[in-house]
Structures are given as C-alpha cells and as structure tokens.
Amino acid sequence: MEIILALCLGVTLSAASGFRLFLPPLALSLTAIYGDLELSSGFQWVGTYPTAIALGIATVIEILAYYIPVVDNLLDTIEIPTAIGIGTLLTAANLGDVNPLLQWSLAAIAGGGTAGLIETFTAMTRVASTGMTGGTGNFLVATAEALSSGVLSILALTILPVAVALVLGLLVWVILKLPKFIRAWRRKRNRV
C-alpha cells in the first residue's frame, strides 16, 4: 500500500511539473526539509537548503520567462523532454527503498509519461493561443499553468486523494483532447 501512495504522490507532482518544471521539486524539497516527507535513498540531497534555494531561483526565473513573448514558445520546446526527466526523478524520489529496476521503471513510465503528456498539451495550448491571439493571450495561459502547478503541488503534499482525482481527470481530458490538437495543427501546417 505504501508504494501505491508513493506512486500517487510522484505522479501528481509529475503532472504539476508538466505545468511548471521547478515548482513541484521546490515544494518537494521544502516538504523534505521540514521533515514532513521521507525521500528515497539517494535522494536526500533534494531535502537540503542549497537545493531549495537553487530550485527557488529556477522557479522564479521560469515563471517570469513564460511572460516574455517568443521566449514562452521556445521554452516549451526545451521543457517537453526536461519535464519527462523531472517527472521521472520526482516519482523515483518518492518510491522509497524498492528494487531499483521497479523504482526506475515505474518512475519513467508513470512519472515521466505523465509529465511529458501534460507538458506536450500545455505547449500545444500555447501554440494555439499564439496563433489565435498573436501571443497577447499567452500571459493568461502562463498564469493558469503556474497556478495549476502550485495548486497540484500543494494538494499532492497535503490532500493526496484530491490531487490524485484531479490528475486522473486531467489525464483523461488531455488524452481525449490531444489528438484533436494534433489533427488541427497538421491541417493548419498543410495549408501553409
């Protein structure tokens, strides 16, 4: 049962990292520092002050960068693979002391997959926003993403069942909507 809860926490934080990369690891770091969460062996460095400071700086820079036109779209191209890596690490850090093959397999599939799916969807949403508004509406997307990441991170670390329900609903919605986004993007690209 403990591994299921740890997996749920990791996947929820991974989904949050699909919205903003550094906010969920910052939340995890602060929670570990204050002793409210025990990290897997080999991940104790996440719960240190230097890590929290570095993640705090990275979080502020990332959030602000998404409010700069053109930079927001460029960041999305970099952040898709990075989100997969961070989602994998967030999940692995929570799985406790289990067989490393199981730990990293679950982390890559569940955590990395969730983060990658959410990040891909947010990138496509930003592209659609840029196309429809010429980039003027992207600040709304950036704000919604930052808030989503923060709320999911807090819920994951405080009220896990609510966070899991939200993430499951979000994943179902994204899985249903993503093919429509891709088809629309291909049609638009073929017209040009």
The dihedral formed by the CA atoms of 58, 108, 89 and 182, expressed in degrees to the nearest 10:
10
pLDDT at 189: 73
Structure tokens at 12: 């929820």
The residue written with tokens 């929290």 in the block is 52
Asked if 39 contacts 52 with a C-beta cutoff of 8 angstroms, the reply is no
Mean pLDDT by 10 residues, the chain (192 residues): 90 96 97 91 94 98 92 89 96 91 95 95 88 88 96 96 96 89 78 69
pLDDT at 178: 82
Name the nearest CA neighbour of 119 among 23, 8, 15. Answer: 15
Name the nearest CA neighbour of 106 among 133, 48, 98. Answer: 98
Could you tell me which residues come within 8 angstroms of residue 174 by beta carbon, excluding any fewer than 6 positions away?
117, 118, 121
Cα–Cα separations (whole angstroms), residue 59 to 22, 37, 111, 154: 5, 21, 20, 15
**Structure pTM?**
0.91
d(CA 3, CA 23): 23
